[in-house]
């Protein structure tokens, strides 16, 4: 058994175990954290298969950004596990039937395909060097124009988001430091000249 | 590698991109009262871009085949820019009266124009998708521009969700076509499609691509979003998304079906024929029942898309030339139709119900005459512009051996005349009955330009030869 295979089995075991934990753990924060572990091990397997860019992208995008958002949402929503489990027994038969149908479908599809499928030949362009470098090169040469257009699309998304959400609210008390420091004495202090008070009952 | 030729080929698009960014920055420093500067600069940018398009710098292909510059792209771009400039002029009083006169309207519209220009020049499926998304994202935001209006927000939401769904379908189809042919380049797909061993996968991909394009076109039965979006969007935005994008939709269909899948024509021609018949039927029959003019024009768009598809079903250069001519005639006529609604509206009065046009002849006989011209052109009454478009696509359908399709088209064209003429009848034979009976108030540029636009429908109808000749030359048909 080669080292690679040992590492693969290790990652695969952790992956399956953490994936199981995602759907069995009662605490939804723990479930979300298990999902992070699942993504992380999946990324490990991809890197093992020499798809290091995909693996890193999975970590950066899903673990770094998407799951953090997900955790925020889970923590903000007050989800009661008990209420989620209501009707578990009642809907169990339906769930089992759906699961069985899906299992049969997947087996018939994958089972048949797995017998016919042949491993894709490795891309000779990727034989030496990392595929991150290859992807980067392709993005800046062959796909330069689409890459730039994608940047424009992001710009439009930014402009659209600002257009649709930025509004000047009236009646909101916000601090304006630039105006506050320019305050003059006579804006804050008003000297009122009054006639001195006479005896009670004398003045109108 | 990128060479100077690549950059020169892309000069109009590059100029437009730089100009949009400059305009965006400039607009930031303008006071609300100076917004007209953005307005005039946006029109000037469109003009300069159009001039650059006509200069023919550069090579027919750039960026390794990603970008194609041929006659079709040039003709479509010129009319895209022209239509957008017309809409900008018509939209100004409307936007100003409603507090929507903001720089973002111009910036987002210009980005949409850039997306359309890239779309009609696409040489790869990636470019088709990205051009389309640039157009679509800008359009979603434009529809929601009047964010305090619930109708507008609802329309934008529907447009966004259905648009995203359509993009998903298109991408899925493209991935299948990529799987079957092993390339994203449209020319290589053209070469590989006929001989691919994966015919099933290719056909599967073609179905999804047809569905995606039909969604974007607004062809029945994928038209559900169109009436709500047209009605819900501010009329200034409806005028934009209802006119120029039809040219881009034709360009996209041409690139995808002819440049890419031309060698497997029978795959998609039957599907387009079915879409054409359904669009003609649903568009024309549903339009009869509408009382809102914007909604009626939306259903009318669906029926016009049906006619346009008749030209594509042909699958020969003459058919594409006819469809292109049709798209141009429709874009100019639709700009005039929505321009007329914009002209007659004012603060607090939308003028978008057909009843709002009652007795227009007594209030403003000249505008009633212009509106009648526009309606006659949409209906396809000779000798107006719209008639020759219809004639050419019907001829293309007959030439393709689909006589039944041409007969269906002709029957529904006659049904369609009813609801266009109803608007004319309301204007000339009904008396105005309420406070809306004020003469239209509009700026001098709007009044002048809409007169020119509507009269051009008559002039181009009488002398349609040169324009059709231009379309035909673009497709390489010897005259």
Containing domain of residue A28, as a range?
Answer: 1-79
Q: Which of A143, A146, A151 to mutate to test the interface with B (most CBs of B within 10 A)?
A: A146
Q: Tell me whether B178 touches chain A (CB under 8 Å).
A: no
Identify whether residues A75 and A13 lie together within a single domain: yes
Residue B437 pLDDT = 55
Q: Tell me whether B64 touches chain A (CB under 8 Å).
A: yes
Cβ distance of B108 and A149 shorter than 8 Å: no
Mean pLDDT of B79-100: 92
Residue B479 pLDDT = 61
Residue B117 pLDDT = 96
Q: Tell me whether B417 touches chain A (CB under 8 Å).
A: no
Q: Each residue of B206-231: pLDDT tens digit? A: 999 999 999 988 898 899 899 999 99
Residue A127 pLDDT = 62
Residue A113 pLDDT = 62
Nearest Cβ partner for B64 among A142, A155, A159: A142
CA angle (B416, B422, B425) in 5-degree steps: 145
Q: Tell me whether B70 touches chain A (CB under 8 Å).
A: no
Residue B436 has pLDDT above 60, yes or no: no
For residue A40, being part of any structural domain is answered with yes
Residue B161 pLDDT = 93
Q: Tell me whether A166 touches chain B (CB under 8 Å).
A: no
Instruction: Specify the range with the lowest mean pLDDT, choosing from A80-84, B313-317, B395-399, B454-458.
Output: A80-84
For residue A19, being part of any structural domain is answered with yes
Residue B382 pLDDT = 85
d(CA B65, CA B45) in angstroms, rounded, equals 27
Between A143 and B402, the more confident residue is A143
Instruction: Specify the range with the lowest mean pLDDT, choosing from A112-116, B201-205, B463-467.
Output: A112-116
Q: Which of A113, A139, A141, A153 to mutate to test the interface with B (most CBs of B within 10 A)?
A: A153
CA of B126, closest CA in chain A: separation in Å? 7
DSSP A88-142: TTTTHHHHHHHHHHHHHHHHHHHHHHHHH--PPPPPGGGSSS-HHHHHHHHHHTT
Q: Each residue of A119-140: pLDDT tens digit? A: 666 666 666 677 888 888 888 8
Q: Chain B residues with CB inside 8 Å of A146's CB?
A: 66, 124, 126-127, 130
Cβ distance of A159 and B67 shorter than 8 Å: no
Task: Give the chain A residue nearest B153 (alpha carbons).
Answer: A164
The answer to whether A34 and A21 are in contact (CB under 8 A) is yes
Proportion of chain B above pLDDT 70, given as a percent: 97
Identify whether residues A4 and A74 lie together within a single domain: yes
Residue A172 pLDDT = 78
Residue A128 pLDDT = 66
d(CA B39, CA B59) in angstroms, rounded, equals 33
Q: Each residue of B249-308: pLDDT tens digit? A: 999 999 999 999 988 888 899 999 999 999 999 999 999 999 999 999 999 999 999 999
Residue B106 pLDDT = 95
Residue A115 pLDDT = 63
Residue B194 pLDDT = 86
Looking at the structure of chain A, the number of domains it has is 2
Residue B435 has pLDDT above 70, yes or no: no
Give pLDDT < 50 ranges for chain A: none
Residue B237 has pLDDT above 90, yes or no: yes
Q: Tell me whether B50 touches chain A (CB under 8 Å).
A: no
Domain containing A73 — which CATH number? 1.20.120.1200
Which residues, 6+ apart, have CB-to-CB distance to B429 below 8 Å?
A: none
Cβ distance of A153 and B137 shorter than 8 Å: yes
Query: Phi and psi for A22 in degrees, rounded to 5?
Result: -60, -40
For residue A33, being part of any structural domain is answered with yes
d(CA B327, CA B251) in angstroms, rounded, equals 10
B292 pairs with which residues across the strands?
B353
Residue numbers of B between 92 and 151 with CB closer than 8 Å to A:
102, 104, 107-108, 111, 114, 118, 124, 126-127, 130-131, 133-134, 137-138, 140-141, 144-145, 147
Query: Residue ranges per domain, chain B?
Result: 4-474
Which residues, 6+ apart, have CB-to-CB distance to B51 below 8 Å?
A: none
For residue A200, being part of any structural domain is answered with no
Cβ distance of B141 and A163 shorter than 8 Å: yes
For residue A101, being part of any structural domain is answered with no
Identify whether residues A144 and A70 lie together within a single domain: no
The answer to whether B419 and B289 are in contact (CB under 8 A) is no
Q: Chain B residues with CB inside 8 Å of A160's CB?
A: 108, 137-138, 140-141
């Amino acid at each position: 058994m080669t080292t690679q295979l040992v590492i693969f089995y290790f990652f695969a075991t952790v992956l399956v175990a953490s994936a199981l934990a995602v759907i069995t753990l009662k605490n939804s924060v723990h479930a979300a954290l298990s999902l992070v572990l699942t993504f992380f091990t999946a990324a490990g397997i991809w890197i093992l298969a020499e798809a290091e860019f995909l693996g890193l992208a999975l970590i950066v995008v899903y673990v770094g950004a998407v799951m953090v958002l997900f955790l925020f949402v889970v923590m903000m929503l007050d989800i009661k596990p008990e209420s989620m489990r209501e009707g578990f027994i009642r809907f169990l038969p339906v769930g089992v039937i759906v699961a069985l149908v899906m299992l049969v479908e997947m087996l018939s599809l994958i089972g048949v395909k797995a017998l016919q499928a042949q491993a894709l030949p490795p891309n000779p362009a990727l034989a030496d060097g990392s595929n991150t470098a290859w992807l980067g090169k392709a993005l800046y040469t062959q796909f330069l124009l689409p890459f730039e257009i994608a940047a424009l699309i992001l710009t439009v998304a930014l402009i659209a988001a600002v257009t649709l959400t930025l509004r000047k609210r009236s009646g909101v008390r916000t601090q304006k430091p630039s105006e506050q420091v320019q305050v003059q004495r006579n804006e804050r202090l008003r000297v009122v000249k009054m006639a001195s008070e006479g005896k009670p009952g004398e003045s109108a | 590698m990128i060479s100077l030729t690549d950059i020169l080929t892309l000069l109009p698009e590059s100029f437009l991109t730089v100009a949009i960014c400059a305009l965006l920055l400039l607009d930031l420093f303008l006071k609300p009262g100076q917004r007209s500067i953005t307005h005039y600069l946006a029109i000037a940018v469109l003009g300069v871009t159009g001039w650059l398009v006509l200069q023919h710098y550069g090579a027919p292909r750039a960026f390794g085949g990603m970008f194609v510059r041929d006659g079709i792209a040039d003709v479509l771009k010129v009319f895209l820019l022209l239509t957008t400039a017309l809409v900008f002029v018509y939209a100004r009083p409307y936007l100003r009266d409603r507090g929507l006169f903001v720089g973002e309207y111009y910036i987002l519209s210009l980005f949409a124009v850039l997306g359309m220009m890239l779309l009609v020049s696409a040489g790869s499926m990636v470019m088709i998708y990205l051009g389309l998304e640039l157009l679509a994202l800008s359009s979603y935001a434009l529809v929601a521009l009047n964010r305090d209006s619930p109708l507008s927000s609802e329309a934008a939401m529907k447009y966004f969700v259905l648009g995203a769904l359509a993009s998903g379908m298109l991408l899925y189809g493209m991935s299948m076509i990529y799987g079957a042919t092993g390339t994203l380049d449209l020319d290589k797909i053209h070469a590989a499609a006929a001989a691919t061993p994966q015919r099933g996968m290719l056909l599967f991909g073609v179905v999804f691509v047809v569905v995606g394009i039909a969604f974007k076109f607004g062809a029945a039965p994928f038209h559900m979003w169109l009436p709500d979006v047209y009605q819900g969007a501010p009329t200034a935005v409806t005028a934009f998304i209802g006119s120029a994008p039809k040219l881009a939709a034709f360009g996209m269909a041409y690139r995808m079906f002819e440049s890419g899948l031309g060698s497997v024509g029978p795959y998609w021609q039957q599907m387009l024929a079915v879409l054409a018949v359904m669009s003609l039927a649903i568009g024309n029959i549903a339009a009869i029942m509408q009382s809102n003019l914007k909604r009626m024009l939306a259903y009318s768009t669906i029926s016009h898309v049906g006619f346009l598809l008749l030209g594509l079903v042909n699958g020969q250069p003459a058919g594409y030339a006819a469809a292109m001519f049709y798209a141009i005639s429709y874009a100019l006529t639709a700009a005039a139709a929505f321009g007329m609604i914009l002209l007659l509206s004012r603060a607090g009065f939308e003028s978008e119900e057909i009843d709002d046009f009652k007795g227009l002849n007594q209030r403003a006989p000249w505008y009633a005459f212009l509106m009648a011209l526009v309606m006659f052109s949409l209906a396809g009454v000779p000798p107006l512009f719209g008639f020759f478009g219809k004639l050419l696509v019907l001829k293309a359908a007959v030439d393709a051996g689909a006589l039944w399709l041409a007969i269906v088209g002709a029957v529904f064209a006659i049904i369609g005349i009813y609801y266009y003429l109803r608007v004319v009848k309301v204007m000339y034979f009904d008396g105005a009955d309420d406070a809306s009976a004020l003469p239209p108030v509009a700026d001098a540029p709007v009044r002048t330009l809409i007169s020119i636009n509507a009269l051009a429908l008559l002039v181009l109808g009488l002398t349609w030869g040169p324009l059709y000749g231009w379309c035909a030359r673009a497709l390489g048909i010897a005259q």
